[in-house]
Structures are given as C-alpha cells and as structure tokens.
Structure 1
C-alpha cells in the first residue's frame, strides 16, 4: 500500500532535520549511547538583513548591529555591496523579481501578457502591438524615450491608461514629450531601482541566525524590525528608532514606507533565496537549503520557488510561495515546503 502523505512528509522532515544533529549523534555513538530522536524545533532561524542605501551610515549600521545582538541574534557575517555591483548583477531586480521581471529582465515578447484582457482594455490586439514594436519593458523604455528613471516615472504617472494584469504586473500607455506612445510594463520599478544603483549607493548586509525558542520569526519582523511603515512600528524597533533618530544617524530625509531604513527576510525560505541572490551562496552550503535538499526538494524546485511563483496550495488553487511561508519559524517552514513539494509533484 502506498504511504500516506503524512507518513511521507514526516519521514522527509525527520530525515532533513538530522543534518542539524549530526554532531551530537556522532558524539553519542562514540560514547556507545543511543542518540535522542531529532527535535525539529531546534532548527535555527536564519535571515538576510540589510541597511538600505538611503540609511547606510556607520551610525545606522552600529545601531542595527546592537539591536540584533541585544535580541539574542547571532551575526554570522557582514558585508557591503556597492550600487555598481547591484546594477551590473541586477541584484535588486532579482530581489523584486515578480515586479522586476516585467520591468528589466524579460523583453516584451517574453512577458506573459493575457492577450484577451489586453485587447479588451486597450482596444487592440497584443500580437499586433508586439509585431509593430510598440511594447517594451521599463529599462528598454528609458533607452527608447532617451530618459532616466525619474523621467520615465513622471511619464508613467501621466500615462493615458494603466492596467493591472496581476500582482506586481502593470501595463501603461506612455509617452515622453513627442515620443511614443509605447506600451510599457512596470515603469514605476525604475524609480525603485534607482534608489539602489549607482556609484554613490551601497547596502550593508548581515547574515543572522537565532533560536526560534528565543525569538519567533513573527516577533523578529513585527517587534524587532517593525512593520513597513516606520511610523506604525513599536517603540524600540529598528525601523522606529531610525525614524526617531534619523538626523543623529546621518540620514538626509525623513524615513517613510519606501525608505524605511532596513530590509529583513520574511521567512527562512526567503532568507535562503536572498542569500543565494545577494551573496552568491549555494543552496547546499546553507543549513536550511541543505535541510530542504535532504527533505526531498530538488535544487531546481528550490531555485524556481526562490522567485516566488504561484504554486498549488493545500487548500486548493494557486498562491504565492512566499506568502504561504511568511513569518514561519524554520521547522514549520521546512514542513510546509515539504507539503507544497508533495502537492505540486502530484500535479506533474
């Protein structure tokens, strides 16, 4: 009889967790003592944190470092990444892949435009527009319009029409001066991107880990980091501290929802995805990544899911991978990924 999903998931998860206990198991074997059963709750949380360019001063770095340490978090590494490198390697584009893929990574012909909705909204066939070269991504639009990110963003705000095709997926009919109009995808991203690229920009990165028994991931983000809007963050949180002391920290403008000082991973899986992107680390050398491989997820699946595709969900229908894992501690996140992997493998 075929094993049930619960049995399969439990077996895979238990096998994955053993990687975190190999040292203690080996020691027990040396002493001729039977090792204790692996406790998946002991899997460490690990995240990628960075100070954003607008806030990247030594004073901010020092404050963030101290807040992390005071919360019982271990900083395993620190590094700096220049705006030039971010630009050349398209690191910020990969970070915001769902949005950036339509703005800088994919050409118009490769963007999955819903042809029927395009025609109903804009009154002409997508195939015709594409054949006539009247559609482009945001980066291509800057070149065709001979403008920069600010110029394109201003034109986007004045677009004749903007249509939402999906989450982070917009198309607008844009003109710059007498040039155009062109159908441009996610033109607003170029302004977001410009905040990270250039010789005068950089980020300061922390790779961190901690025991989920000491700090739940939900509290790591909600209480230690603070919500997206720093004005709504709790007193003492990193983002609220940056808002309250921005002048002392050397910032030149008041932090807001976009420029909120610091980014941190929303789950252990996002942490893995961000470390492989920003730091060029491999899945196998990351503890959580190795646990996923040991649990039966292929490297190909992990890479595909690292850009947050929509996949089959346990409750039915498709949804974001990242959303399904948000604020989960490592053991729960691992178990959820095993479950999602089983469900989606069955769909093949």
Structure 2
C-alpha cells in the first residue's frame, strides 16, 4: 500500500502577522539527484515518482561538475559551512577572538598578522594536498567549534602548521565537482494534496535511507541501488537525492542553482508582495541567525522547516517585523 499523504494544515493567522498568503499558493521545491546516484536509471525513477505523486515538473536538466566548481554553486548551497571554507578569507571570517585564544593559547590578531590562518580551499594550496588528504589531517587536528557550521583546526602537514577553517568541507565539495554532475527537477504541487512535512518525511524519506519508510524515494534508491547503476550502497551522507526543506529554501536554491530571479518565482513574488524587501530575502537566503518570537536568536531556515507556502510566508512576515531596524 502506498503512503497516505496528509493535506497541509491551514494555520496561517492574518491577525498575528497582518498578512496571509492565499492557501492556493503552490508549494515549490528544488530536487536533485546527488552525484553518487546520478545515473539515467535514477533520473527516471525520480521523474516517475514525482509524476506519480502529482507533482508538476517545471524544469529539469543536468548541471556539470565544472559549472558547479566555477560558479561555486555547492559552496552557496552549503553557505553556512562553505563561507568559512571557500568564500571568505581569514580576515573576513568573524572569529570570536576570546574563544580562539582560550582554545589555542594565542591571540587571533597575532595569527592573522603573521599569515598563519587560511580557509580550506587555500589550505589545499598551502599544503599542496588533495581534499581527501586535507580531511585526513583534519581528523588528527585540534579542532574548536565556534558556532553552527563554524570550526577551526590547528593543522600540521608537511612540516607546516596552519589554522584552517572548515577543512572537512573540501571532501564534501569534491563529490560535486570535476567529472561529477547533478540532475535537478524544479517541482510544484498544491499544498492541499501533500503537506511539506509529508513531502520530506514520507515522499523523500529521512536523511538516513535505512530509516526511510517503504515507498519513499530514498528507500527506493537504497533498495534498488545495484539495478540503478550505483557503485556503492547509499548511506546517510550519500543518500541519493536532495530536496528543499521549505518553500523559502526552495526559492534560495532555485536562485542559486538555476539563476532565477526572486520576482520571477511564484513564491518569491508572493514574498515581495507580502512586504519583504528583496534585500532581506537575499540576506536571509544564506541562513543567518535572526531574532525569533521567543526572544532568542536562531536560524532562518530552521524556523521555516516543513512549512507549506502560505504558512511559510506568514512566518517570514512575522520574523521580518521582529528584525526590522528601529
């Protein structure tokens, strides 16, 4: 028996936010087959499952690893981690100086002035090593966590010592570049036919495919991986397929991977119409920490996870009001 999908709950409260997007606003996500699973057979399976569940496929295509590398698409996708690994230079990284000195016993300013710090991409050049060799050395390094997706390690290779940020990201990145590729599907569906929670939990399946329900996409890929042409059994890291965690993440991913404009996307236009500025949408698309309703600070993406389009917009309007400059 196939999975039974719940309809989206109508919890959008205009009294709370002053804005309520129409419940007819469709859900829209970015789905892609990961490089390790990107075979014609897997592409066909994903396409069939999407169509069978009533999704409209708005566009689909392959993106080559050379393009992913050149345009830093995977770096933007994992921005919170990648920004410290490949995008920002050490002087641009917001290192908590007190924490650094407590952890490593010397001042960050001195390390920076002496050129003894680098991001992960720079480290592969400085150490003249591969991404895999860098990760191996990272496992042996003294590593300190400074925040979510923000790590610094004192690494030693080839008689050279350097402070390196998020060195583990390079091996993650290497899976998406070079001869690798992804195959994407831009999809849309009425929230009345499947909630976002069910889209991820039942249709896609959880991160670890071994724990995914029967009939879910990740479980199907796991069960059929040999016939699909995969070289190894899927696992928690290489789990076959990615899908957006919310409509807002879907928008951010479509802007990044497909070069779509915010105003040219149905959800993006609805966000603009609800009063969010284009600047705020762009800033929040890299998942900063913002003020939450309970007074704490937290991830934008986490606050929106599994929400359907209308509720997602209502939540974003609420967060926008909380974070407006006086």
Select 2:278's aligned residue among 283, 296, 299: 299
Higher helix fraction (1 or 2) = 1
Tell me the equivalent position of 2:176.
Answer: 196
Tell me the equivalent position of 2:115.
Answer: 133
Aligned-pair distance for 1:43?
A: 0.9
Alignment of 1:165-314 (within 5 A): 165-178=146-159, 180-198=160-178, 200-314=179-293
Pair member with larger Rg: 1
Q: What is the TM-score with the length of structure 2 in the denominator?
A: 0.95
C-alpha distance in 1 between matches for 2:307 and 2:16: 21
Gaps of 5+ in 1: 18-39
Tell me the equivalent position of 1:95.
Answer: 77
C-alpha distance in 1 between matches for 2:129 and 2:298: 36
Aligned-pair distance for 1:158?
A: 1.2
Tell me the equivalent position of 2:8.
Answer: none
Aligned-pair distance for 1:7?
A: 5.4
**CA offsets 1:83-116 (integer angstroms, 9 cap, x no match):** 0000000000000000000000000010000000
Tell me the equivalent position of 1:9.
Answer: 17
Tell me the equivalent position of 2:59.
Answer: 77
Aligned-pair distance for 1:341?
A: 0.7
Give the secondary structure class of the aligned counterpart of 1:42. Answer: coil
Gaps of 5+ in 2: 1-12
Tell me the equivalent position of 2:3.
Answer: none
Select 1:336's aligned residue among 306, 311, 315: 315
Give the secondary structure class of the aligned counterpart of 2:242. Answer: strand
Aligned-pair distance for 1:177?
A: 2.6
C-alpha distance in 2 between matches for 1:314 and 1:70: 39
**CA offsets 1:98-155 (integer angstroms, 9 cap, x no match):** 0000000000010000000000110000000000000000000000001110110111
Structure number with the bigger relative contact order (C-alpha 8 A, sep ≥ 6) is 2
1:43 is the counterpart of 2:22: no
Question: What is the total number of aligned residue pairs between the two structures?
Answer: 314
Aligned-pair distance for 1:213?
A: 1.1
Give the secondary structure class of the aligned counterpart of 2:63. Answer: strand
Aligned-pair distance for 1:71?
A: 1.0
Aligned-pair distance for 1:42?
A: 1.1
C-alpha distance in 1 between matches for 2:44 and 2:89: 41
Aligned-pair distance for 1:292?
A: 0.6
Tell me the equivalent position of 1:108.
Answer: 90
C-alpha distance in 1 between matches for 2:249 and 2:49: 21
Aligned-pair distance for 1:313?
A: 0.6
**CA offsets 1:247-277 (integer angstroms, 9 cap, x no match):** 0000001101110000000000000000000
**CA offsets 1:50-99 (integer angstroms, 9 cap, x no match):** 00000000100000111111111111110110000000000000000000
Give the secondary structure class of the aligned counterpart of 1:41. Answer: coil
> Which 10-residue stretch deviates more, 71-80 or 222-231?
71-80
C-alpha distance in 2 between matches for 1:253 and 1:175: 32
Aligned-pair distance for 1:317?
A: 1.3
C-alpha distance in 2 between matches for 1:273 and 1:189: 20
C-alpha distance in 1 between matches for 2:131 and 2:16: 50
Select 1:164's aligned residue among 139, 145, 164: 145
Give the secondary structure class of the aligned counterpart of 2:23. Answer: helix
